[in-house]
Amino acid sequence: MISVNDFKTGVTIEMEGQAYQVVDFQHVKPGKGAAFVRAKLKNVKTGSVVEKTFRAGEKVARAHLDKREMQFLYKDSDGYNFMDNESYDQISINQETLGDGSKWLLENMVIEVLLFQGNIIGIELPNFVELTVVETEPGVKGDTATGATKLAKLETGASVQVPLFINEGDRLRIDTRTGQYMERA
């Protein structure tokens, strides 16, 4: 059990049989009445965000998430196939569970798979991935001062906005949390 007074961003709690991660919280002490904690909680499985108000000092169950290191092998009609790096067992995870993370997966990439009560609820990608541009319009010489961007398709099938000087074959560093181009690799 954890007191709501000890909330920090990233803490995972269990509520109504679901795991929620604290996205934002605020301790409020009104002039009259008891103090309370207002929190934004993200459902770890569905990604939906809810706001919940707790009485100050209220206890909630801390959710225990297991993280298992796995290697992405390949995608087929059943889903995305991963291999457990300890037991070498292979499992298939469907698109709904992976969410937007699937567009950054490269074969042989090692990621963390999140488990709650023995069920796979999602994946944790590295903050940055390096991917190759497979398709983009050619840049025009002298077109770098405007700060304009163009669309580039990456080797995983994802599309991102990049500066005009990026060409096909360039390796890019992409932030998986925001899906934005960071720099050339």
Of the two residues 106 and 44, the one the predictor is more confident about is 106
Domain that holds residue 105: 65-124
Give the domain-ending residue among 17, 42, 62. Answer: 62
Dihedrals φ, ψ of 48, to 5°? Answer: -75, 145
- Same domain for 57 and 75, yes or no, is no
Alpha-carbon dihedral of residues 55, 57, 59, 62, nearest 10 degrees?
110
Edge to edge, the sheet with strand 128-136 lists 159-163, 149-154, 128-136, 171-175, 180-184
Structural domain ending residue among the three candidates 77, 107, 124: 124
Kindly state whether residues 141 and 169 are assigned to the same domain: yes
Count of the separate structural domains present in the chain: 3
Asked whether residue 91 falls in the same domain as residue 140, the answer is: no
Number of H helices, E strands in the chain: 1, 16
* Beta-carbon-side half-sphere exposure of residue 10 (alpha carbons within 13 Å): 0
Same domain, 81 and 46: no
133 in the same domain as 115: no
Q: Residues 26, 70: one domain?
A: no
pLDDT per residue as tens digits for the range 4-47: 888 888 788 988 888 888 888 998 888 888 889 999 998 877 77
CB distance 109 to 71 below 8 Å = yes
Query: 12: domain CATH number?
Result: 2.30.30.30
What pLDDT, on a 0 to 100 scale, did the predictor assign at position 130?
A: 92
C-alpha to C-alpha distances, 158 to 13, 23, 131, 179, 180, nearest whole angstrom? 32, 26, 10, 9, 11
For residue 70, pLDDT over 90 is answered with yes
The CATH code of the domain that includes 153 is 2.40.50.140
Residue carrying structure tokens 């002298």: 142
User: Residue 131 has what pLDDT?
Assistant: 92
Calculate the CA 121 to chain-centre distance: 12
The pLDDT tens digits of the residues spanning 133-155 come to: 999 988 666 655 667 888 999 99
